[in-house]
Amino acid sequence: MINITFPDGAERQYEKGISALNIAEQISQGLARKVLAADINGEVCDATRGINNDAKIKFLTWDDDNAKSTFWHSSAHLMAEAVEGMFPGVKFWVGPPLEKGFYYDIDMGDNVIGEEDLRKLEVKMAELAKQNNTYQRKEISKPDAIKYFEEKGDEYKLDLLSGLHDGEITFYTQGNFTDLCRGPHIPSTGFIKGIKLTNVSGAYWKGDEKNKMLTRIYGVTFPTQKELDKYLFLLEEAKKRDHRKLGKELGIYTMDDDIGQGLILWMPKGTVIIEELEKLAKETELAAGYKRVVTPHIAKESLYLTSGHLPYYKDSMYPPMELDGVNYYLKAMNCPHHHKIFAAEQHSYKDLPLRLAEYGTCYRYEQSGELFGLMRVRCLHMNDAHIYCTREQFAQEFRAVNDMYQKYFKIFGIEKYVMRLSLHDPKKLGQKYVDEPELWIETEEMVRKVMTEANIPFVEVHDEAAFYGPKIDVQIYSTIGKEFTLATNQVDFAQGRSFKLEFTNQNNEAETPLIIHRAPLGTHERFIGFLLEHYAGKFPLWLAPVQVKILPISDKFTGYAKNVLNKFKIADIRVEIDERSEKIGKKIRDTELMKVPYMIVIGEKEVNEEKISVRRQGKGDMGSKNLDEFIEILKEEVKSKKEAV
């Protein structure tokens, strides 16, 4: 008998050689139907594999990332079986799982795979899945394995085998397909129910363009058809919401080869959003006792040597400009500039906390291959601020910053978010992190305590701190569940010392302030990118670049329409008029596409009755309204930042 320990600490005895799947079956058939793999003593294994010693086990079901990987890896084998069935003689290279789905690289010989073939392969895969064939593991000697693939004439698997040692080689077989594979796999093909082959492309063997081009088939599978449907819907939705697509269609931003990669030109409509966000930030920060500053975008090398950016952050900075024999750098962060403003005046503990805020523009060098729409750029407008405080004030200030995050989440309808406490790695002190071992431990504990006391859920992550102290990274999720890294909230015990920042404490001694770096709204680039996807371009009224569009049915009503236009303008509503000689249907469709929240249709009836007809974007006709009353409704909707209708 062997001792099996479960995650909750419970222990039970089983016959030697029993599998995790057998144990699950003994617990309940319902559980067994869900077990895709098992974690045995920390290693992910086939659930069907016999256990011969005492072990800790955990059943891995669909909600576990390792189970998903196993599932998709097994799906790659299933696809390979289908491909081999339809195209005998093809040869397989590797078929790994991905973050979402899997692929297999295949030498298709003379066969060309088209869209139609993918559909046929899906059908074939579904048939094979229904057979519920088990994935059978077999340990095999290297000579036998070589013999097998030599007989098959498969130079790819032979190439893989050449890198493996005897004793570590296994085959997996399901149905008629056998593959060289270290596993693990799901118990049987019957688990795979929702099947979609998403794409086919070329891929050089071993990624080397001197080698033969193989065919890479991508797919994704799920334990139910329903989950696949949901996934495909969200995929489609995410495509529609792609901020690069919407950014162009809605005239939010553009880029230009002569300006440079990763450098955003904000068009008038995007700039409206920027200004509204800055207004919100300024109001919020004013109410929270922040003071604003404005600093240049460049500084001398000496500043960044003092701050530590040059030794620790040089690769992410633009190269220097040499002027009068001095190197100037574009600022990658605003903090050193703010420190200089702190240092420009004398401070007593009574002046603290001093909170200096700036929507500062920073420049960071990202590899051109890493640039991506608004998400990875080289010029960032950051909702930045630095709080200089005493140790006694730290907890309250750090909590207030977290409160500000939560306030913003509410305004923008961000319901899901994760706070990650990023810690240092003691092994990298002096390289990646400033060499102050005690201060690291102390400040990490301070942050942990604040987060715990404030009851904010967080996870801890090793070796991801800033070079000057621990930080909270905030991940947020859009309406359709897409993850975005928003911002950070950092503690800094190092720069205050480097810059010799001081205040006079209650004992009349010079003391170095703690510094909190924070940027709840992140950068305009990333946050507006997020908002485009979060709202699918349908901005709430207060953020909408054009809030109202006036659509006269014909030229006859232009006079009245322009009077209406002016009334909106006087009320500070962002309004446009569509004076084209188009039919009203087309005007409405075009305005819908531009996602303008309100449309005002003006025709004979409206002129006669001295009213307006209102349509809400995506919701249709709202009927006839009195203009003045409607303007009041809109003002309220703008002010409340919530949809009125």
Cα–Cα distance between 470 and 551 in angstroms, integer? 54
Cα–Cα distance between 29 and 583 in angstroms, integer? 64
- Report, in Å, the least distance between residue 218 CB and a second copy: 31
E-state strands within 101-251: 102-107, 136-139, 170-174, 177-180, 194-204, 213-222
Using the rule CB under 8 A, which residue among 72, 102, 149, 328 binds a second copy? 328
- Report, in Å, the least distance between residue 208 CB and a second copy: 24
Q: How many CB atoms lie within 10 A of CB 110?
A: 6
- Report, in Å, the least distance between residue 5 CB and a second copy: 55
Task: Name which of 524 and 549 has its Cβ closer to a second copy.
Answer: 524
- Report, in Å, the least distance between residue 336 CB and a second copy: 8
Q: By the 8 A CB rule, do 633 and 644 touch?
A: yes
Task: Name which of 8 and 258 has its Cβ closer to a second copy.
Answer: 258
Beta partners for residue 518, in sequence order: 385, 489
Q: Which stretch binds a second copy (CB under 8 A): 332-340, 503-511, 529-537, 614-622?
A: 332-340
- 302 counts as binding a second copy under rule CB under 8 A: yes
Site string for a second copy, 364-403 (x = CB under 8 A): -x--x----------x-x----------------------
HEC readout, 151-183: HHCCHHHHHHHHCCCCCCCEEEEECCEEEECCC
Cα–Cα distance between 96 and 509 in angstroms, integer? 62
What is the footprint of a second copy within residues 483-542 (CB under 8 A)? 524
- Report, in Å, the least distance between residue 200 CB and a second copy: 33
529 three-class SS: helix
Site string for a second copy, 584-623 (x = CB under 8 A): ----------------------------------------
Site string for a second copy, 254-273 (x = CB under 8 A): x-xxxxx--xxxxxx-xxx-
Radius of gyration of the chain (CA): 31
Task: Name which of 348 and 626 has its Cβ closer to a second copy.
Answer: 348
Structure tokens at 328: 């100037």
- 344 counts as binding a second copy under rule CB under 8 A: yes
Task: Name which of 371 and 454 has its Cβ closer to a second copy.
Answer: 371
Cα–Cα distance between 444 and 423 in angstroms, integer? 7
HSE at residue 136, side-chain half, CA atoms within 13 A, is 11
- Report, in Å, the least distance between residue 625 CB and a second copy: 26
Task: Name which of 146 and 298 has its Cβ closer to a second copy.
Answer: 298
Using CB under 8 A as the binding criterion, the count of chain residues that bind a second copy stands at: 57
Q: Are strands 620-625 and 612-616 parallel, antiparallel or unpaired?
A: antiparallel
Task: Name which of 351 and 442 has its Cβ closer to a second copy.
Answer: 351
Task: Name which of 272 and 614 has its Cβ closer to a second copy.
Answer: 272
Using the rule CB under 8 A, which residue among 203, 341, 395, 441 binds a second copy? 341
Cα–Cα distance between 454 and 267 in angstroms, integer? 41
Residues 6+ apart with CB under 8 A from 63: none
Q: Which stretch binds a second copy (CB under 8 A): 79-87, 339-347, 506-514, 586-594?
A: 339-347
81 three-class SS: helix
Site string for a second copy, 272-301 (x = CB under 8 A): x-xx------x--------xxxxxxxxxx-
Q: How far is CA 514 from the centre of its chain?
A: 31
Burial class (CB in 10 A: 0-12, 13-18, 19+), 25: middle
Q: Which residues of the chain form contacts with a second copy (CB under 8 A)?
A: 251, 254, 256-260, 263-268, 270-272, 274-275, 282, 291-300, 302-303, 306, 318-324, 326, 328, 330, 336-337, 340-341, 343-345, 356, 361, 363, 365, 368, 379, 381, 524
